[in-house]
């Protein structure tokens, strides 16, 4: 099935893919049936310019929660997993 995602549409400065952009994730889910496993949240160093990233972390679907793997940069979302913590 061909993707109908308009890659010129995005809502997060500098990120034009569905893992970082909730709008593109929802479009991919609705149009292609691909539900997101997680969405990466971004905290900018400056809220007015949004040009320098302070940290990125995954937002996991309930009841999973983001857990640091214990290795690597804590600001890199690839060093976190979605797990049941209880």
What's the pTM value of the predicted model, to 2 decimals? 0.68
Hey, which residues does 41 pair with through a beta bridge?
57
Calculate Rg over the CA atoms of the chain.
Answer: 14
Distance between CA atoms of 10 and 76, rounded to whole angstroms?
21
CA distance 19 to 51: 18
- pLDDT, tens digit (0-9, with 9 covering 90-100), for 53-82: 889 999 998 899 999 999 999 999 999 999
H or E element that contains 30: helix 22-32
The SS3 of residue 59 is strand
Neighbours of 39 (CB within 10 A): 19
3-59 residue pLDDT tens: 444 445 556 777 777 888 888 889 999 999 999 888 898 888 887 877 788 899 999
């Amino acid at each position: 099935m061909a993707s109908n995602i308009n890659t010129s549409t995005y809502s997060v400065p500098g990120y034009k893919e569905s893992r970082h952009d909730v709008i593109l994730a929802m479009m991919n889910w609705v149009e292609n049936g691909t539900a997101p496993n997680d969405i990466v949240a971004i905290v900018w160093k400056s809220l007015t310019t949004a040009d320098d990233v302070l940290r990125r972390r995954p937002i996991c679907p309930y009841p999973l929660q983001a857990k640091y793997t214990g290795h690597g940069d804590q600001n890199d979302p690839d060093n976190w997993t979605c797990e049941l913590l209880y």
